[in-house]
């Protein structure tokens, strides 16, 4: 019985060591580029209209966040996940809309808003096995580790007041802004992220409980908006090749961390 207890303890210690190694391999903030916007990039020029960047981010983090080119919408979820899946607390969003005829971009945005609701996120624990090759002469070992995973959807709506037309009627009168209008876009961010790994189920369940509490107690603070960008793309198309035709909103949310 003593030998059995020792073997169990050895396996748990190995699981915790592997979990610690997996936690260090967190995914980069820069996502892969999706097909739609990459095609637009190849045949167009773009103009940054507005941007929001959360305070206290480093220059390297800001540079990587700006590389978010429409990866993160439900249609872009990668079904071929590697095992073990890298840890990532980032959830990227993208929303694309056209710029109607008759609207011109103002020199600066006077109102840029993102509203979202992360309360639909949930946390679960997932057991996965990692094959470890020991020193020469020993057979391979399969060690269990426990992934703390956040899944669910975040509905997102964005509006940007940066466009004007020749004529207009403001139904809630404000002087000198009758001909200005906001373009809006709505999307859903699909979240399926491994936040961290733990060596035992008890440790993973405790981390999951803390994440659930963080989301339910203060979702706006614990799932903050890290960045948001609005870019207008000019695409060569007939006689309208000299004006912006597509507006792309991109951004990134940060999920709660394991305690």
The per-residue pLDDT for range 136-163, each reduced to its tens digit, is 777 778 889 999 999 999 999 999 999 9
**What is residue 76's predicted lDDT score, i.e. its pLDDT?**
44
> Quick one: the chain helix, strand, coil %, rounded to 5?
25, 40, 35
Distance of alpha carbon 130 from the chain centroid:
27
- Give me the pLDDT at residue 21, please: 78
Q: Rounded distance, CA 69 to CA 14, Å?
A: 39
Residues in a beta bridge with 124:
149
* pLDDT at 193 exceeding the cut of 50: yes
Q: Which tokens belong to 5?
A: 């207890």
Say what the pLDDT of residue 8 is. 65
The arithmetic mean of pLDDT across residues 32-42, rounded, is 49
**C-alpha dist (Å) from residue 2 to 5, 8, 151, 153, 199:** 5, 10, 40, 47, 22
The residue ranking higher by pLDDT, 164 or 13, is 164
* Cα 106–chain centre separation: 29
Between 35 and 134, name the one with better pLDDT: 134
Band (46; pLDDT cuts 50, 70, 90) = confident
**Span 233-242, pLDDT tens digits:** 887 665 555 6
* pLDDT band at residue 116 under the 50/70/90 scheme: very high
């Amino acid at each position: 019985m003593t030998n059995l207890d020792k073997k169990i303890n050895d396996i748990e210690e190995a699981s915790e060591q592997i979990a610690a190694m997996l936690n260090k391999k967190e995914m980069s903030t820069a996502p892969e580029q999706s097909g739609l916007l990459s095609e637009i990039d190849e045949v167009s020029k773009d103009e940054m209209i507005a941007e929001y960047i959360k305070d206290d981010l480093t220059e390297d983090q800001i540079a990587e966040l700006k590389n978010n080119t429409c990866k993160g919408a439900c249609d872009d979820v990668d079904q071929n996940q590697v095992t073990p899946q890298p840890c990532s607390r980032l959830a990227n969003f993208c929303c694309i809309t056209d710029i109607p005829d008759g609207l011109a971009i103002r020199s600066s945005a006077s109102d840029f808003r993102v509203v979202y609701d992360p309360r639909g996120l949930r946390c679960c624990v997932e057991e996965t096995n990692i094959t470890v090759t020991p020193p020469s002469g020993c057979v391979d070992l399969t060690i269990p580790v426990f992934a703390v995973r956040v899944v669910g959807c975040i509905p997102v709506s964005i509006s940007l007041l940066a466009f004007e037309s020749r004529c207009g009627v403001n139904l809630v009168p404000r002087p000198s802004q009758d001909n200005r209008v906001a373009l809006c876009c709505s999307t859903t961010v699909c979240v399926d992220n491994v936040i961290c790994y733990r060596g035992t189920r008890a440790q993973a369940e405790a981390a999951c409980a803390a994440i659930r509490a963080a989301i339910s107690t203060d979702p706006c603070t614990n799932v903050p908006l890290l960045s948001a960008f609005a870019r207008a793309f000019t695409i060569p198309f007939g006689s309208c090749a000299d004006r912006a035709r597509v507006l792309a909103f991109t951004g990134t949310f940060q999920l709660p961390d394991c305690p």
